[in-house]
Chains A and B, each alone.
Chain A
Amino acid sequence: MLTDKQKKAIETEILRYPKRQAAGIEALKVVQAEQGWVSDEDLKDVADYLGMTPAEIDSVATFYNLIYRHPVGRHVIHICDSVSCWIMGFEQVQQQIEEQLGIGMGQTTPDGRFTLLPIPCIGCCDHAPTLMIDGNLHENISLDGVRDILEAYQ
């Protein structure tokens, strides 16, 4: 069930659009903000609330990179794997993070602390390689600096 707080947040989003359904992406984000991902149950609740079928809203949820239909860790690491970061060596950074956390791309650490995902170009190519954690941008990543960056996210 959507909480009153969630409903209020979704209603605020709906005001920006002429149709309720248009706020679908925002509604999914509202739900995701609570527990980090969108479960089947959440999906049905959002669909009911916006007057859509679960299939309709799922087609939206599965299309966008940043709506998660699986559980994720407390912190989501997005490594930019596009061309400028590739030239500047993101693959070594990725390898270092994978070794340090003991997980591969798309996986979550057993303690639920980190999920590791790729992201297309985050528009910071003059400071490559780059990554984002929980929406915070980290630039000019060096192999030596990875440990300190991750340390800040417990």
Chain B
Amino acid sequence: MAAGLLIDDDLGLIESVQRAAAAAKLDLATATTWDEGLGLFHVLSPNVVIADYNMPGSQHGLLLLARIRRLRPSVRLVLISGFLEESDMERVRALNLVDRTLTKGSVLESARVVVDEVRQAQEASLAPTDWREVADAAVAAAEIPEADLTELDQILSRKADERSRNKAR
């Protein structure tokens, strides 16, 4: 199955990603909404999911990532946001929900990081399931504090909503 799954609502970006993935022989599937991304996750069970925080969908942000984490604890999750501040990302990391966050920094660097993640995921996908690793990840996922997750999601959602409103002004 696909080694990686990238979820981003920017269609122009997705086209560039698909073109780059084909050229660089990256086993990377793409989705433009959270709902589509979740559906593809069910089918393709990629080893790494790279998602932009602020996207439309029936449910967005941390709660959806938490859902993916619980479904398959050993998956690698990378959260991208050009909008959330570093202090927000620190709080996300403190939850032990995602494996990596990308905020500011060069877009070239971001692209390189994603390419590296997908290449690593490709290698990992050739190996059989390491059940010890899966078990460790399942225990860690169960320890993510639900209340903290919900609170942080609400705070970040409010910021995202305010940004969307002001984008339209």
Whether A and B are associated in the same complex: the answer reads no
Contacts from B to A (Cβ < 8 Å): none
Contacts from A to B (Cβ < 8 Å): none
